[in-house]
Amino acid sequence: MSYRSFHFLVSGRVQGVYFRAFSKGIAHDTGVVGWIRNDERGNVEGVAQGSESALDRFKKALWTGPPHAKVANVEISNEGILDGLEYDVFEVRDILHRALVYSLAGLSVWGIVMMGVVHRDTLQRGKGNVGDLLTVHATNRLWQRKKQRSLRKTRQSTVNMTYQEQANEQALAEAAQAALQRSGKSW
């Protein structure tokens, strides 16, 4: 069986209105797989894969959106035919990626601060000696290990939070879909 695939970019008021959860619910109901995320410009983008009829329904839902969204445009690109699906489910990707970026930025800032501390200490001591530099290096290694442990804990809590947020988004998507059905809207 052949499947279809496309990349989509939805613009308008689509962030902060449960657009991703709504899309995930529609994808689940229609049998579409892929991913969706917020981008930096205030849009929502993603990849959808599935049968032609399922993707047609999904495209219509992208134009409709949840009740508080105002979709200005839906750009479809990279349409193609696939022999098999590349994804197992339709997932929201934004949360973990953002946490990773923030964690790496934090490590970079921490590294710059530590370089400044080492440089300041060396200047305060005058010429310094090998023993002083080894002490500073050992202190830095201890701070790095402590920071790595802290980062592991942060990543674990982010993953746990991600599962909870996904469950919340799923519940909101189901509620939005039920509200649309009650109001007589269709996609």
pLDDT digits (tens, 9 = 90+) for 37-75: 998 888 999 999 999 999 999 999 999 888 888 999 999
Residues 45 and 105 in one domain: no
pLDDT of residue 149: 75
Residues 34 and 116 in one domain: no
For residue 187, tell me if it sits in a domain.
Answer: no
pLDDT, average across residues 133-153: 66
Closest by CA to 6, choosing from 25, 41, 32, 26, is 32
For residue 35, what are the CA distances in angstroms to 9, 21, 43, 111, 117?
12, 11, 14, 34, 43
The reported pTM is 0.51
Residues 130 and 87 in one domain: no
Instruction: Quote the CA–CA distance of 159 and 166 in Å, as a whole number.
Output: 10
33 Cβ neighbours under 8 A, 6+ residues apart:
27, 48, 49, 50, 85, 86, 87, 88, 89, 90
Residues 83 and 113 in one domain: no
Instruction: Please list the active-site residues.
Output: 20, 38
Domain boundary among 70, 93, 116: 93
pLDDT band of 130, cuts 50, 70, 90: very low
pLDDT, average across residues 101-111: 57
Residues 34 and 86 in one domain: yes
Instruction: Quote the CA–CA distance of 14 and 145 in Å, as a whole number.
Output: 41
pLDDT exceeds cutoff 50 at 6 = yes
Angle at 16 between CA 42 and CA 178, to 5 degrees: 130
pLDDT exceeds cutoff 50 at 80 = yes
pLDDT exceeds cutoff 70 at 107 = no
